[in-house]
Amino acid sequence: MNEHVSCPTPAEAPVDRPNSKKVFIKTYGCQMNVYDSVRMGDALASEGYVTTEEMGEADLVLLNTCHIREKAAEKVYSALGRLRDMKKARAAEGREFLIGVAGCVAQAEGEEIVRRAPSVDVVIGPQTYHRLPEALRKARAGKAVVDTEYAVEDKFAHLPATEKAGIRARGVTAFLTVQEGCDKFCTFCVVPYTRGSEVSRPVQQILDEAKRLTESGVREITLLGQNVNAWRAAGPNGADWGLADLLYRLAEIPGLARLRYTTSHPRDMDDRLIEAHRDLRSLMPYLHLPVQAGSDRILKAMNRRHTGAEYLRLIERIRNARPDIAMSGDFIVGFPGETDQDFEDTLKMVEEVNYASAFSFKYSTRPGTPGADLTDQVAEEIKAERLERLQALLLKQQADFAKSCIGKTIDLLLEKPGRMPGQVIGRSPWLQSVNVDAKTSQIGEIIRVRIIGTGPNSLFAEPAESLIGA
């Protein structure tokens, strides 16, 4: 999955209760980690914890970590050093202060975290966080708990259902994990080693969670997976279902107005999923489909198992099915052995696809991956120059796409109040942030607006009804 900037603690949990314990969850990385943080909060609610956005008032701090980027582990250890000092201060006051490390760094580092940071009470992997309450109970007995074994049981079946009040507090959009792990083994990626092999959640479990979310006011759900379009499970009639079948079924849930999914692999983008983009109006016309590089030689070295031409033909088929679709992607520059010509092939790929948005990074070695053992590493200054050129092209394409929206009348899902008085922020079908003057009582509604301008990272619109008679 594409990496995002460090995310804040999950949105407000159920209403604070007198004498309740408080947990601060710092979330790093992708959307799946955001979802996991929310579910860890759900699991801790049974222990009397409520989430807080103020670390200073927390009784428990959890770092939900990501291992995708360079020096991820060192950043965690740096944060743990600061938390150690907070723990000493709390101990002097006779107050409990527990520290936990969760997520992919926890999975990769395991016992090493406790060895280097003895103040840590719990280390728990992404497949075992449903056992977090039990781990905390054991940690209070005085010994750090490290639980990073891949769980035999289904963690989702053991997590408590989110209370409706908690869902409503989080807003009108929600993430829903349907698939975890990856079997592709791209040579640059740690996911198969930290999240394990591909596992798909059962159909009914997903439908039940989606219905709970919708009944609590959620209007848009984004299905998550490290390789979400590899999702496979038995349908209600016993037949094998793919992601398209799941999307068709979710589209039937009353009140669920919008569907999205991320992140996909080109090799799992089948005909039926493309047809779903054609048929389902609730499936938004935005697709994140990473290619990583434009050079066939580098794609082979990355073990992507497709060529640049195959990717371009796939994009053409998708656009033929849904002409208004906006494409998003991921790119890595400076993979070992990348030549000037290989990089030019990537630029050519970007120009041919014309992305509405994209994420791009310099290659960094991840310990334990095949790419880390390659000897023909690209110099940092060359990586930096190439990344600057690539990002300039991608930013221009993103700006051009935003400008192409001016004058369009679109459906806008209103999500939250804006910074300016009378302003509400929503999301366009293409996942852009849109500012519009509207009543805050309309949050959760989908209104017709006309795009009238662009900003650095958002669009501006006016209600379509204000145009009547203009």
What does the alpha-carbon distance between residue 26 and residue 9 come to, in Å, rounded to a whole number? 5
21-147: what fold? Rossmann fold (3.40.50)
The pLDDT, as a whole number, for residue 153 is 67
The pLDDT, as a whole number, for residue 124 is 94
What does the alpha-carbon distance between residue 145 and residue 110 come to, in Å, rounded to a whole number? 10
φ, ψ (nearest 5 deg) of residue 414: -80, 125
What does the alpha-carbon distance between residue 109 and residue 159 come to, in Å, rounded to a whole number? 25
Q: Which residues are annotated as a binding site for [4Fe-4S] cluster?
A: 30, 66, 104, 182, 186, 189
Q: Which residues are annotated as a binding site?
A: 30, 66, 104, 182, 186, 189
Among 88, 72, 93, smallest CA distance to 30 is for 72
- The tokens of 332 are what? 């890595």
Specify the amino acid at residue 274. Answer: I
Domain boundaries, the chain: 21-147, 409-467
Q: What angle do CA 457, 458, 461 make, to 5 degrees?
A: 165
Q: Do domains 21-147 and 409-467 have the same CATH topology?
A: no
Specify the amino acid at residue 434. Answer: V
- pTM of structure: 0.85
Q: What is the mean pLDDT of each run of 10 residues along the chain (470 residues)?
A: 38 49 90 89 89 92 83 84 93 92 90 94 90 92 87 72 68 94 92 88 96 95 96 93 98 97 96 98 98 98 97 98 98 98 98 97 88 92 98 98 97 94 95 94 94 95 64
Which secondary-structure segment (H or E) carries 309?
A: helix 308-321
The hierarchical CATH code for the domain 409-467 is 2.40.50.140
The pLDDT, as a whole number, for residue 165 is 59
| Distance set, CA 442 to CA 221, 397, 412 (Å) | 19, 32, 11
How crowded is residue 230: how many other Cβ atoms within 10 Å of its Cβ?
Answer: 21
How crowded is residue 352: how many other Cβ atoms within 10 Å of its Cβ?
Answer: 13
